[in-house]
Amino acid sequence: MPAELIATHLHAGAELRRATATQCAPSIAAAAQKITDCMRAGGKLLLCGNGGSAADCQHLAAEFTSRLTAGFVRPALPALALTTDSSFLTGFVNDFKFEDIFARQVQALGKPADVLLGISTSGASPNILRAFEAAHALGMATVALTGAAGPLRDLAQICVSVPSTATALIQEIHISVGHIICHIVERGVHPPKL
């Protein structure tokens, strides 16, 4: 039984990677270009998500600010996960509505030159949707990583919509897509010297 489960999950993940490579390459490239343009112009990347997607936001913000691989030395890139300030998160949720937790931070920290990257496997998280509305009101660009459903796909200016509704598999693809975007952006902002 465990061997069958292992094989089933890994084969499903491999098939989803193939489908994502075929269907999402243009949107991945567009997302990377949008973030590259933002950072070249002095803007920053804000990231938001819930649960496993919150962890992905923190992971990716660290890759941008630190660096993706030790072999490519470059200056830090400005990226901030809106999921990390425990004092704000707990205080705001205690006094106000959870649906506005990211929108409030976007209003405080976002500028028109910035990009908001929202990660939601369902594409329907109310706090992510409200954050995108706040970003649009500020004139920020918006990029989403989602699954195959949800209104976030239409709200985002650029959406990488992984063709699945299986949360675990979508999350596995999202972190791969995030790594690809970071790889492209860091070389677009700081081209390697020949």
Summarize pLDDT for 53-108 with one digit per residue, the tens.
999 999 999 999 998 988 899 999 999 999 999 999 999 999 999 999 999 999 99
Half-sphere exposure for 165 (CA within 13 Å, toward CB): 3
The encoded tokens of residue 174 equal 């999202």
Buried b (16+ CB within 10 A) or exposed e, 79-110: bbbbbeeeeebeebeeeeeeebbbbbbbeeeb
Q: What is the pLDDT of residue 70?
A: 86
- Sequence-distant (6+) residues with CB within 8 A of 79 are 44, 45, 46, 47, 60, 61, 64, 65
Q: For the whole model, what pTM was predicted?
A: 0.95
The encoded tokens of residue 167 equal 């949360």
Q: What are the pLDDT tens digits along the chain (194 aa)?
A: 789 999 999 999 999 999 999 999 999 999 999 999 999 999 999 999 999 999 999 999 999 999 898 889 999 999 999 999 999 999 999 999 999 999 999 999 999 999 999 999 999 999 999 999 999 999 999 999 999 999 999 999 999 999 999 999 999 999 999 999 999 999 999 998 86
